[in-house]
Chain A
Amino acid sequence: MRGADYVIKRTAFAVITVFVAVTINFALFRLAPGSAISNLSRVPHATQELREALKREFGLDKSKGAQYAIYLKQLAHGNLGVSFENQQPVSHNLWEALKNTLPMVLLGTVFAIVFGTLTGVIAAWRRGTALEGATVTTALGFYSMPTHWLGLMLVILFTGVLPTGGMANDFLINPSFWTHLKDVLSHMVLPSLTLGLVLYGEYTLIVRSAMLETLGEDYILTARAKGLKPWAIVRKHALRNAMLPIATLVALSLGYIVAGAILIETVFSWPGIGRAVYDAVLQRDYPMLQGAFLLLTISVVFFNLVADLLYFKLDPRITT
């Protein structure tokens, strides 16, 4: 089989990266000034005995190496610790949050991929026209706006028209399935649109420049010399080859979308993974923060791997 080698190599790289991230994750929180018990703000007159007992309970009396070994072992069993805030396992909290994030993020991403590719191709094809200028200006505009600010602008524009916070109307008592679905969808429009618009700008620019590079290739000139129709050249010769960088970049950006959702979910009080990170920061809920960081890193590494393998599948020239 072609390149079983390559697949193994990339997968190994992904696994090592996750391991590096895990180590950074461990080190960052251990290097933080003070330990978990040095700042017992909730127990002002903690005795020495209490401190020692707590130290033993949290395993802080062991050496750093031993702590690291314990951390890895627990992680391998899927134990991410317990949230300071609601005393639930972090993995449980993260899973609940992720279930809310995914549909919202997917909706926005699909919007961005469809419209971004469309306008990107048109901009490259109609190069040098006013249409290209308008498209690129719009895309650059959305690309430049701070994500949370764009969200706030949509809130100002759509207050009263669409719900601007939360995920469902709490005042609907025992709604039927369809009412509930409609309710959630209407809450999803604005956060998804924010994400979609930001990504739309990025995708349009990426697709445009990928198309421009392809349109400069000699085989386009050959195709033209053969007398093919312009649209056929764009579709069959240019876009197919431009799909290579586009597919990779889309896969790459998918990983970062989950991270980017932090700002959007904060603006719209969407109870997802981003909102969980924000709350964890506010409450200094370190186990949650640690778990969320790990989850986000793994998602990025995973989509990176997907991008690599996709590239390999799409481009027969890659051999190593």
Chain B
Amino acid sequence: MSVVLNEPGFLVDPEPVRSRGGFVWQTIRRRPSATIGIVLLSLVIVGALLAPWVAPYGLHTRVGPVFGHPSWSHPLGLDDGGIDMLTLLMWGARISLVVGFAATLVSMLIGGTIGVLAGYFGGKTDVVLMRITDYFLVIPDVPLMIVVAAIWGPSLFHIVIVIGILLWTSTARVIRAQVKSVRERVYVKRARSLGAGHTRIVLRHVLPQVAPLLIANTVLTIAVAIFDETALSFLGLGDPSRISLGKVIENAFQRAAISSGAWWAIVPPGALVAVIILSCSLVGGALEDALNPRLRVAHLSARTFRLRPLVGRGAESL
């Protein structure tokens, strides 16, 4: 791949880039890490979706002794109630993902709306909304979640709302910055002078430009939401009637899986959460990097110590 250098610090890709979305897609495809992330995430999602049909045993059926060892019929062993761990993991991932996606949706709606409003209208609206965001940004979310969850009482719905209303701050800021720059572009001004209303400009011209960033942010927020759900469950604030991955870890911890030597009851659920968070970070990080052109230039790199293009090569090995 040839790269034309026309001025220091600028890399010009000879392939014509048609749209921003296409460009993002290309970058993702070139990055092995993003592909790994997408594959892992899809595997987990498919496994969780198919749980009712492919899970080997019932979610509430006792199939063997307490903390039964892994065997051919139970590859991941049994938990403190003699329930198959593999089954638990599939159903647990289902709940964890639902919480992650739902909470992220709530936070995207709040953060996206505030970001677009503040960025688009500017002026007083901007100042007021951003001041509110600043306060929310500073107040530590995990303790506040704990307090709210403890007061409201444990339920899946409460968990989703609590996580959702505390995660939107970074989204709002990122989106606002992007909207601010889009608003000043010529085609938006042109549309305005042609008499387009605010709603039309926002929906037709601003949102499509902000969308990739919003998606990158969404993927990263899902990871945080799932982490928070796991943490809340571990502290006994999860929904007792729904088994999420966090709940599986909590159960194993509370019923002394470690002192019983039943590592299989505690290692896989946490590892699965780590895999979900890792793959979300990989995908989200790749998207964000693709949208931040500053990271693709390096004047100083290892070994060869020569100005070299990193677009097609090393830069992708995140």
Contact = CB atoms under 8 A, between A and B. Distances in A.
A17 B140 CA distance: 12
A176 interface: no
Contact of A146 (B231, B236, B314): B231
B146 A277 contact: yes
A127 B302 contact: yes
B281 interface: yes
B151 interface: yes
Interface stretch (A77-85, A89-97, A240-248, A297-305): A297-305
Contacts of B302: 125-129, 131-132
A152 B270 contact: yes
Interface in A274-317: 277-278, 281-282, 284, 289-290, 292-293, 296-297, 300-301, 304
A36 interface: no
Contact of A129 (B134, B230, B303): B303
Interface string A184-214: 0000000000000000000000000100110
A106 interface: no
B116 to A, nearest CB: 24
Interface of chain B: mostly helix, strand, loop or mixed:
helix
Contacts of A159: 258
Interface in A211-248: 212-213, 215-218, 220-221, 224, 230, 233-234, 238
Contacts, number: 182
A98 B56 CA distance: 48
Contacts of B227: 146
Contacts of A256: 140, 142
Interface stretch (A41-49, A58-66, A112-120, A259-267): A259-267
Contacts of B301: 125, 127-128, 215
A28 B148 contact: yes
A212 B269 CA distance: 35
A300 B136 CA distance: 12
B59 to A, nearest CB: 22
Nearest to A21: B139
B46 interface: no
Contacts of A213: 294-295
Interface in A121-170: 125-129, 131-133, 136, 140-141, 143-150, 152-153, 155-156, 159
Sort chain A's interface into a size bin: 35 or more
B298 A259 contact: no
Nearest to B305: A230
B300 interface: yes
Contact of B139 (A127, A141, A281, A297): A297
Contact of B142 (A21, A126, A140, A260): A260
A146 B235 CA distance: 13
Contact of A217 (B230, B296, B299): B299
B258 A156 contact: yes
B297 to A, nearest CB: 4
A155 B258 contact: yes
Interface in A1-32: 13, 16-17, 20-21, 24, 28-29, 31-32
B274 A128 contact: no
A149 B249 contact: yes
Contacts of A281: 146, 150, 235-237
A267 B150 CA distance: 19
A49 to B, nearest CB: 29
A278 B232 CA distance: 10
A271 interface: no
A136 B138 CA distance: 28
Contacts of B273: 145-146, 149
Contacts of A128: 301-302, 310, 313-315, 317
CB-CB nearest 9 A-B residue pairs? A128-B314, A149-B270, A144-B278, A126-B302, A144-B277, A216-B297, A32-B151, A221-B299, A220-B299
8 contacts: A32-B152, A126-B302, A128-B301, A146-B246, A262-B146, A262-B235, A278-B235, A304-B138
Given A224-B299, A263-B234, A297-B140, 18 more contacts: A28-B151, A127-B310, A128-B317, A144-B275, A144-B281, A148-B253, A156-B258, A156-B267, A212-B298, A230-B300, A259-B140, A262-B146, A277-B146, A289-B146, A296-B140, A300-B140, A301-B138, A304-B138
